[in-house]
Amino acid sequence: MAYDRRQTDVGIPQEGGGGPYRDYRFEVAHAEVPVGVPRTFKVLDPQRAASLRGWVECLVPARRGRPSAAEVGAAEYIDATVHSASGLRETLLRAIDRLQALAGDAGGGGFATADLGERTRAVRALELEDRSGAFDMVRDFTYEAYYAHPVVLAALQRDLGWDAVAPTRGGGMEAFDESLLQRVKSLPARYKEVR
């Protein structure tokens, strides 16, 4: 038994897997981008970088002591990932440009400077029309950058009691109490004898 989510919204990763676009997952295996490391943009120009920051903030906004995705460097993480996985660059660049255009269509003065509500409407429009896989890619990368970041993990522990450090450091647990089996031990055998 392994561990992964059921890919209900994404097909099985295979070449020619039937989707309308090439699955971003094929490109990222060797893109080793540690989360939580301060970094600057390498692929995106300042305008696109600002737009991507605005985009990831829409995906995971700040709330009551929890930072937004932009505040924990999700945009820089995405930039670093597509820097390592160059096959994804064009997809990202086109999507950012389209998002800027959608914001302009909505009558705004530019996506990056629009308020959160306007940006969210533009992102929603992009999600609905996207056939390139860019939206799913940016959403998933944003979640990666967010839910592996030490600041966010500390907030989850504080708010929800989820100990996110335990999987890397371990910890003590109460031993199994065999007396709990008293009833089951009294039951008859339940396997089929085979002669």
Partner 1 sequence: MSAEPADVIVVGAGGAGAVIAKRLAERGAQVVCLEQGDWVDRQKLPKAHLDWEVRGRRYWAANPNVRRWPSDYPVASFGDNPIDVYIYNAVGGSTIGFAGNYWRFAPSDFRMRSLDGVGVDWPLTYEELEPFYDVNEREVGVAGLAGDPCGPPRRPTLLPPAPVGRPGRLLIDAYERLGWYWWPTEQAITTVPYNGRSPCDHRSYCPFGCPNGSLGTTDVTYWPKALKLGVRLITNARVRSLTLDSRGRAQGAIYHDSEGRVHEIKARVVVLCGGGLGTPRLLMLSDSSRHPHGLANSSGQVGRNLIVHVQSFAVGRFDDPVEGWHGTWGGSVSTRQFYETDPSRDYVRGFIMSGVGGYSPLNLALQLAPWGPDHHDVLDRYLNHEVCMYLCGDDIPEEINRIELDWEHTDAIGMPGVKTFYRLGENSQRLGADMIRRARQVLEAAGARSVRDFGLSPIWGWHLMGTARMGDDPAASVVDRHNQAHDVPNLYIADSSSLPTGGGVNPTSTIQALAARCAEHIWDARRDWRGAE
Nearer to partner 1, 46 or 65 (CB): 65
CB 75, CB 49: distance < 8 Å: yes
C-beta of 97: minimal distance to partner 1 in Å? 20
Q: How far is CA 11 from CA 6, 46, 75, in A?
A: 10, 34, 26
C-beta of 63: minimal distance to partner 1 in Å? 5
C-beta of 96: minimal distance to partner 1 in Å? 16
Nearer to partner 1, 107 or 172 (CB): 172
CB 68, CB 57: distance < 8 Å: yes
C-beta of 6: minimal distance to partner 1 in Å? 4
| Sequence-separated (6 or more) residues with CB below 8 Å from residue 48 | 93, 96, 97
Nearer to partner 1, 131 or 174 (CB): 174
Nearer to partner 1, 46 or 174 (CB): 174
CB 38, CB 73: distance < 8 Å: yes
Choose among 92, 94, 84: nearest CA to 28. Answer: 84
